[in-house]
Chains A and B, each alone.
Chain A
Amino acid sequence: MLYKCKINITICYNDITFGGVVIDLRRAKILVTSFVCAIVAVGATSGNMYLALAGIVIGALFMALVRRRSAEVHIDERVEALGGRAARATFVIMSVFLGLLSLGFIFIGRNTGDGGLEALGTVFCYVVCLNCAVYSITFKYFDREHGGEY
C-alpha cells in the first residue's frame, strides 16, 4: 500500500507553520540544533559516520530553507559592520600570533637542529604571507567596488 505524505511548511515573519502547528522561529532553530546535536552524538558514539553526516546535512538544509523563505532580516548594515570589525581583529590577531609562532619555531628548530620544527615554522610563515596577500587583494577589490580611485 502506498501512503502519500504531505507536510506543508509555511514560514511567516517570525513563525513556522509545520503541518498545522505554529512554532516560533527561534524555538524552531533551537529544536533543529538539538536534533542535529543528538544525531551527531548518536552517530559519533556508535561509530556511524554516515549518520552524523546525514544529521548535519539535514540540519543545514532545513536552516537554509528557513533562511531563504523567512521574511525576517538576518543580516543588516550593523551586522555587516560588526562582521567587518571582527574579521579585521581576527586577521590582525591571527597574523601576529602565527608570525611570532613561526619565528619561534624557526629559531628553536635551528638551535636544536630539529628540521621538522623549522619546516613547520617556515610553513606558518608562508601562511601568514598568504593571509596578508589575500587580505590586500580583497581590500583592494572592495575598495574599487566602492569607488576608490587608483
Chain B
Amino acid sequence: MLINNRIKVCRAERDMTQEELARRVGVTRQTIIAIEKNRYSPSLELAFRIARVFGESVENVFIYEGGGDAR
C-alpha cells in the first residue's frame, strides 16, 4: 500500500474513538479500522471528510509514499 496515514495519531490527540470518527464521516467502524491498518485506501471524498473532521489538510493526514511521475 503506497498511502500511509496518521488517523490513529490524530484520533489519539483528540481523544476520539473509531466509532465516533466512523459516525462523523458516515462509514462503518470496520472501514476506519481497515484504513488505519493500511488495508484499504479511502476514496478522495472520504479522505477529505476524515481530514476535515480533524481540522487538518488531506496531506497532513494521508501521506503518499509512491514515486513522483508514473511515466
Contacts and interface: CB of A to CB of B under 8 A. Distances in A.
Nearest to B35: A78
B28 to A, nearest CB: 5
Interface stretch (B7-15, B38-46, B51-59): B38-46
B23 A78 contact: no
A77 interface: yes
Main SS class of interface, A: loop
A76 interface: yes
A74 B30 CA distance: 10
A81 to B, nearest CB: 8
A7 interface: no
Interface string A61-88: 0000000000101101111000000000
Interface residues of A, number: 8
Contact of B28 (A13, A71, A76): A76
A77 B23 contact: no
A73 B26 contact: yes
Contacts of A13: 23
Among B23, B28, B40, which residue has the most Cβ atoms of chain A within 10 A?
A: B28
B16 interface: no
B27 interface: yes
The 9 closest A-B pairs by CB, nearest first: A76-B27, A78-B31, A73-B28, A77-B43, A76-B31, A76-B28, A78-B40, A73-B26, A73-B27
Interface of A: 13, 71, 73-74, 76-79
